[in-house]
Amino acid sequence: MYSPLLFPVRLEERKLLVFDETTLPFKEEYLKVEKLEDALDILAKMKTRALGQVLLFFYSAVLFQKEISPEELAKRFKAIRPTFDFELLGQILNKQAKSGITLEEAVKNFIEGLEQKRKARAKELAKDLPSKANILTICNLSGELVYLFEALKNMAKEAIFYVSETRPYLQGTRLTFWELRKNKIPSILICDNQVASLMQEKIINCVVVGSDRSTVNGDIINKIGTYALARLAKYFGIPFYVLTQYPQDIDIDTIEIEERQENEVFMFLEGVGSLEYEAVYPSFDITKKEFITKTYEIKAN
């Protein structure tokens, strides 16, 4: 089993190739990054996200190291996606560089190590899931659900994924549902507003989500809608599991929540004219540890 979302950004012959997540499920195509402005534009337009933006940052640091330092690159990336901790990624690179290796070697070591850690994390989670797991998820975990399904299968456990559509970018529909079906993994697409009903009917027996930021206390920030799922899971007595990385000793309430442009909420109306609409779109929300059953962490070395 394989999903291009596991490694959506690649560095080949001094060019970055970025898997365009916004064209799925209709097209599978890659964008070329030849200058820094290309990378920043891809980041702003949500062409890649989650692990993709991590890889985009690291490979950009390598490709454009003669014109910008990792610290300055982190500031440029953070100005576009303020909720994500690009500054930490810059620190990871600098720590590696101080050991005497090149940026290229640092990035290679990081990515190889991260893949193994993600596989191990999936196996750890699989141990805690029921023998017949009806798993609700939101947004996209950059291919890690493929690892999770393989781990469950190796344990002779059955699994089916209930994939929420995840408005307004529909990452659940276009990314998660697409990659699961591509790998012939049992999956059912649901609308975001169907979750409470399915939980009440005991169709869903566990929830698995990712996390863009986390604290050592167990709080997380993830795609908007995660908090609502956590509250519902708590109410219905359903375990809520989080895959997270690089927890920090911070007050999560002080982190800036990214506000996306209003027009993105109305993407489904593209081409109907130049009507003016009003909307609000905070793209992340905070879920406190009291609503989380267990977190599975990857820690920075």
Other CB atoms within a 10 A radius of the CB of residue 98 amount to 9
215-240 CB burial, b ≥16 within 10 A, e <16: beebbbbbbbbbbbbbebbeebebbb
| CA–CA gap between residue 237 and residue 233 (Å, rounded) | 6
Write down the pTM of the prediction: 0.93
Q: Within a 10 A sphere around the Cβ of 165, how many other Cβ atoms?
A: 21
Domain boundaries, the chain: 4-113, 121-298
Backbone angles phi, psi at 85, to 5 degrees: -90, 70
| Domain covering 121-298, topology | Rossmann fold (3.40.50)
Output the tens digit of pLDDT for each of the chain's 301 residues: 778 999 999 988 888 999 999 999 999 999 999 999 999 999 999 999 889 999 999 999 999 999 999 999 999 999 999 999 999 999 888 887 777 788 888 888 888 888 899 999 999 999 999 999 999 999 999 999 999 999 999 999 999 999 999 999 999 999 999 999 999 999 999 999 999 999 999 999 999 999 999 999 999 999 999 999 999 999 999 999 999 999 999 999 999 999 998 888 888 776 655 567 788 999 999 999 999 999 999 987 6
Active-site residue set: 212
Distance CA 7, CA 140 (A): 13
Contact 139, 222 (CB under 8 A): yes
What span, in angstroms and rounded, lies between the C-alpha atoms of 146 and 170?
Answer: 19
CATH hierarchy code of domain 4-113:
1.20.120.420
